[in-house]
Amino acid sequence: MKMIEELCENNEKKWKEVEDISILALQKRIGLWDAILEEIHKKEIEMA
């Protein structure tokens, strides 16, 4: 966080970019884990 603070300082545009990219990264990570969970469920059904 300190590095981001130093890079963005008081620049509102940079902070908005950080926020937008952070949200996108979290959404992608959620999508990844949802896909992993789906594959686990498929394997469970196949093994049943």
2-42 pLDDT, tens digit each: 999 999 999 999 999 999 999 999 999 999 999 999 999 99
The reported pTM is 0.78
Closest CA to 40 of 32, 26, 9: 32
Asked if residues 15 and 8 have their Cβ atoms less than 8 Å apart, the reply is: yes
